[in-house]
Structure 1
């Protein structure tokens, strides 16, 4: 369930910026940069797979402090596993417990749940998120190649059936045709499923999907403040300007 204050689906694609660091001290510079670029940043993604063991052990206190530091910017909680391009090596039980703690914390507006996790984890996490009024970004990443169009559509359909609020697919292109295939899948999925859609073609080759994806149906895009969290991410200043060019400057967030 998405909080209306996120304004997902309204105006331009919402810009998400990732926080990457071990603890609040390490994140302080990034937070300062985000606050100075507040009008460019709609949502902050908290990448818990970068956290130290101490930060993870004291997650609730950390989230409370971070919420105060961010001064009201909504937080998306993500623990990206190594199999999906992240740093996380938690077991399925540890993954479930961590996301459960995050979902139940009042600082969290959105949680990323990897669709390729076991069914006995994903469904209970989605149900818990719904009971806590936390929006679910159901995600699929492929850092090796871009699946064919029919497979991409099947992934979006499976995500719809699983019940996420925002269905995110990020894939690696080998050619310009792969980028077109991804954008076509985004456009078609937008017409066929009831949830919000995100489609990202990664790397330099896929940058057009980050800045013009909203034209095809993507509701959010990911930008960088300092270090990029994924191949092909643009700095938020550039990203905001490009979004206005493709989607119209009248759609201010």
Structure 2
């Protein structure tokens, strides 16, 4: 499986990367939270010297002014300063896939928002949801690569865990559409679903299945408390990245950063 290197951070090399989400409504709230996160990350990294937070995910769907290009750019510049030594991931999660409900219907402008982020090089990585439509997804991925940005292509299912074949087909589509990192997050309805996702991650990352069409690092997560193992057993399974939290999490079952550092 191909490794992906972004500013000396290598995904898919057997060392799972830790991503911490950042969210808030106003600029002031977001920057205040970012300052608290920065201090906590520095504190924990001083204790757990072999662990590092590699990626900060800005969840733009929570931001009140996400539909304002200038305000969005100014905020991203500020986050760049605070997290200058980390990768910055820009995510606008749609309502259908668990994003924050927006009254201004900003997600109807998602192509414009992606364009602003890409042309302004506001982040190192951009999250693009697979179900946004093949043409829109492929076009955004091409533009991101032309700008020197990388693409996480994602799918989130809050109702069930898809069958293995369906997940493999989504990964195939992501590869075709230009993903650099492939991500699936789903909701388990039984312990069997969690076990199945652990095994599927192992099988794909080891090349046992899908090796003829899955070439990039994968992220497979079972959400909720019952799926916590998929977040902390990444070294065993080959999952390229895990998501942890400082304070409130952005998805069901996210584990606090300190606990993650002790278990990962």
| Consecutive aligned runs of 4 or more in structure 1 exceeding 3 Å deviation | 54-57, 88-93
1:8 maps to which residue?
Answer: 11
Structure 1: tracts of 5 or more residues without a match: 244-253
Give, in whole Å, the separation in 2 of the partners of 1:114 and 1:143.
14
Match of 1:72 among 79, 85, 92: 85
How far apart in 1 are the matches of 2:38 and 2:79? Answer: 12
CA contact (8 A) 2:26 2:65 kept: no
CA distance 1:11–1:186, change in 2 (3 Å):
closer
Look up the match of 1:45: 57
- Partner residue of 2:72? 59
Q: Distance in 1 between matches of 2:31 and 2:106?
A: 29
> In structure 2, the residue corresponding to 1:188 is in which secondary structure?
helix
Distance 1:54 1:48 in 2: 6
Distance verdict in 2 for CA 1:178–1:15, change over 3 Å: same
Contact 1:2/1:134 (CA < 8 Å) preserved in 2?
A: no
Alpha-carbon shift at residue 142 of structure 1 (Å): 0.4
Question: Are the equivalent residues in 1 in contact too, given 2:31–2:79 (CA < 8 A)?
Answer: no
Matches within 5 A, 1:18-167: 18-36=21-39, 37-38=41-42, 39=45, 40-53=52-65, 56-57=68-69, 58-87=71-100, 90=105, 94-167=109-182
Match of residue 229 from structure 1:
250
Distance 1:5 1:233, change over 3 A: same
Q: In angstroms, what is the RMSD of aligned CA positions?
A: 1.9
**Displacement of 1:42:** 1.1
Unaligned residue ranges in structure 2 (runs of 5+) = 46-51
Instruction: Note the alpha carbon deviations across 1:121-172, whole angstroms, 9 max, x for none.
Output: 1011000011011110000100000111222222222222222000000000
* Partner-residue secondary structure (3-state), 1:170: strand
Aligned residue for 1:76, secondary structure, equals strand
1:42 aligned counterpart, secondary structure? strand
- State the partner residue of 1:212: 233
**What TM-score do the two structures reach when normalised by structure 2?**
0.86
Whether the 8 Å CA contact 1:17–1:44 is kept in 2: the answer is yes
After TM superposition, give the deviation of residue 92 of structure 1 in Å: 6.5
Quote how far apart the aligned CAs of 1:94 are: 0.9
Aligned length: 243
Residues of 1 paired with 2:34 and 2:177: CA distance? Answer: 34
Q: Output the CA distance in 2 between the equivalents of 1:92 and 1:79.
A: 8
Q: TM-score, normalised by structure 1?
A: 0.89
Give the superposition deviation at 1:55: 7.2
Relative distance call for 1:8 and 1:32 in structure 2 (3 A) is same
- Give matches, 1:181-192, under 5 Å: 181-190=196-205, 191=207, 192=211
Stretch moving more, 26-35 or 107-116: 26-35
